[in-house]
Chains A and B, each alone.
Chain A
């Protein structure tokens, strides 16, 4: 069980949240090439280490936020402040 630091609710069990995957900025629909869309839709960095990812606090504040987690050790760092919308998390 992970203890996820939600910016609004504080530390919450990961079962209270929904995982939103890697956090990447959405390409501009007016200029993006098909290859960029494909990369945004499907391709993932999937590192064994620090990763910026999105979480949805489903049972708490019901807001998305993005945070860095180490996928090998499950440590979190750089928790966002309320209202922080970095990394494309809407």
Chain B
């Protein structure tokens, strides 16, 4: 449907994914066409997006779809979705703590709900419900606070007691035996999980069909500026003229930094310092078992979140590593701590084995909210500071960043997340709801 609506701007008609096409191709033994093209790097683009993850690809997609800007390049130093987009635990929800956060993430959930139809790809969005457990009076009070803010923002969210938790999720130990007994939970029925790779491929495919170019293995080594107060014309008051890559220079008036863990390194190239430190976040997955965990379960006090994939594996995440780091190595103390906390919640999984663990880089901000929009360098936009909550915000971030880049004005939905909030002392404190155990 959405494809038809933008039919006038289509470069070529996308081969539709459908059951009929699958059967037809299967019977005839045909192979599927390449999903996106490999292009030669041009010397000039209307906009360059650095970072080929869900945020960068969504930004490029919405630039083309909503604003008709198709002369756009997405650059990634590795392959598309190689960073946080393929390493997150795929949870989507909107039960945040601040009104700004709730409105923003609610729009994101709404866009995820339409995504499969809009992008013609099965993103396997399973809105199975999301439980945030409270183990103390203090956290139960925060859950009530969040529930009320959510309800005001029109988000389905409520506080439930141990009996209802047991009904929703029988494998949880809701007795008073654990060290930190479960006292209640924030129940958020629209929350769920999405197949994150499909989101990457869906945006890349749709953007490619509208003429956006994806350049993999293209590393940005410098951002070219003029007129700024720093060396080489970088810094405040200057403007962007292009980027330098390992495949040559590109001239462009707009550069959008969507690089998550590497956000500071890219921004430094334009002379912009960010309030960001990079921490790895580790995750792990178990062997597959039969379905027993119907909802996503999060415990801030126990530093763990867990969901069961459609294949039956349990996917665990935890809090970020305690020190700044650019290496994505796993650690044994993470696995040990995680296993202990999971067993406290669900003693029944004690015999399950962890298959593998991995780690991704998170760009943490002081207030656990992102940094989005314009910077003191004209034409250099940032969509960074996504910490441990970037995947769930990808569609709305792309939509809003595209609007900012195309119109030159900050959209209302992301006004609160501007870099200038650190000048004005208007931080958006989401620490209580952004993730676990920070």
Contact = CB atoms under 8 A, between A and B. Distances in A.
Contacts of A39: 273
Given A38-B422, A43-B273, A19 B278 contact: no
A32 to B, nearest CB: 15
A69 to B, nearest CB: 8
B171 to A, nearest CB: 30
B324 A45 contact: no
A71 B278 contact: yes
A53 B273 contact: no
A41 to B, nearest CB: 8
Contact of B274 (A18, A22, A44): A44
A72 B324 CA distance: 10
Given A19-B322, A43-B273, A72 B327 contact: yes
Nearest to A69: B323
A71 B331 contact: no
Nearest to B334: A1
Interface in A51-68: 51, 53
A9 interface: no
Contacts of B277: 21-22, 44, 46
Contact of A43 (B265, B274, B325, B333): B274
Interface in A61-90: 71-74
Interface in B271-316: 273-278
B359 interface: no
Contacts of A38: 422-423
Contacts of B275: 42-44
B327 A73 contact: yes
A1 B332 contact: yes
A87 to B, nearest CB: 15
A1 B331 contact: yes
Nearest to A43: B273
Contact-residue bracket for chain B:
20 to 34
A10 to B, nearest CB: 19
Given A14-B323, A73-B327, A44 B273 contact: yes
A43 B420 CA distance: 12
A39 B274 CA distance: 9
Contacts of A22: 277, 324
Contacts of B423: 34-35, 38
Contact of B324 (A14, A18, A46, A73): A46
A49 to B, nearest CB: 8
B326 interface: yes
A48 B276 CA distance: 13
Contacts of B323: 2, 14, 19, 53
Of B265, B326, B332, the most chain A CB neighbours within 10 A belong to B326
A44 B264 contact: yes
A19 B410 CA distance: 36
Across the A-B interface, the 3 shortest Cβ-Cβ residue pairs: A46-B264, A42-B275, A19-B323
Given A19-B324, A39-B273, 13 more contacts: A1-B332, A1-B333, A14-B322, A19-B323, A38-B422, A41-B366, A41-B422, A42-B422, A43-B273, A43-B275, A44-B277, A71-B324, A72-B326
30 contacts: A1-B332, A1-B333, A2-B323, A14-B322, A19-B322, A19-B323, A21-B324, A22-B324, A35-B423, A38-B422, A41-B422, A42-B422, A43-B274, A43-B422, A44-B276, A44-B277, A46-B265, A46-B274, A46-B276, A46-B277, A46-B278, A46-B324, A48-B265, A48-B278, A53-B323, A71-B278, A71-B326, A71-B327, A73-B327, A74-B327
